[in-house]
Amino acid sequence: MLDVPDGGAVPVEVRLPTLLRPAAGGQAIVPVEADTVGGALRTLQEAYPGLSGQLLTDEGELHRFVNVYLDDDDVRYLDGLDTKVGPDSVLTILPAVAGGA
C-alpha cells in the first residue's frame, strides 16, 4: 500500500484532538518518526507520558474508544497497529463518539 524503506522509520505527522492536546504540551500536531502506526503511537506516548493509557491499553492494543486514521483510512480496517506508514503520512487521532437514547 505505502512505499516504506525497509526497516526504516519515516516522518509521520500525528494530529491530536483538543481533548488530548494538554497532555502533549498543547500541541495540535506532533511530528514523530516510525515505520508503523503502533510505532508512531508508542513514540508519541514516550515523548508525552501524559498520553500513556489514553491511546493504547496495558496490553498494547488500541483503546476501543479511540479512532486512528492513516491519511483517510481507519487503521482498524487496514492492518491495525501493524499498518505501515510512508514518508509524510498523517495520523489523525479522534475520540469515539457514543451515546444516545
**Structure confidence by residue, pLDDT tens digits, 8-26:** 889 999 999 999 999 999 9
- The yes-or-no verdict on residue 1 having pLDDT over 90 is no
**Which residue range(s) make up the domain with 41?**
10-95
pLDDT of residue 101: 61
Q: What are the residues whose beta carbons fall under 8 Å from the beta carbon of 93, sequence distance 6 or more?
A: 14, 15, 16, 17, 20, 55, 66, 67, 68
101 falls within a domain: no
Q: Are 10 and 89 in contact (CB under 8 A)?
A: yes
Distance, CA of 51 to CA of 59 (rounded, Å) = 15
Please report, rounded to a whole number, the percentage of residues in the chain having pLDDT higher than 90. 73
pLDDT of residue 95: 86
User: What CATH number is attached to the domain comprising 30?
Assistant: 3.10.20.30
* Three-point CA angle 66, 60, 2, nearest 5°: 70
pLDDT of residue 3: 43
pLDDT of residue 82: 97
Distance, CA of 101 to CA of 6 (rounded, Å) = 49
pLDDT of residue 81: 96
1 falls within a domain: no
Q: Which tens digits make up the pLDDT trace of 68-90?
A: 999 999 999 999 999 999 988 99
Higher per-residue pLDDT: 64 or 7: 64
Count of domains for the chain: 1
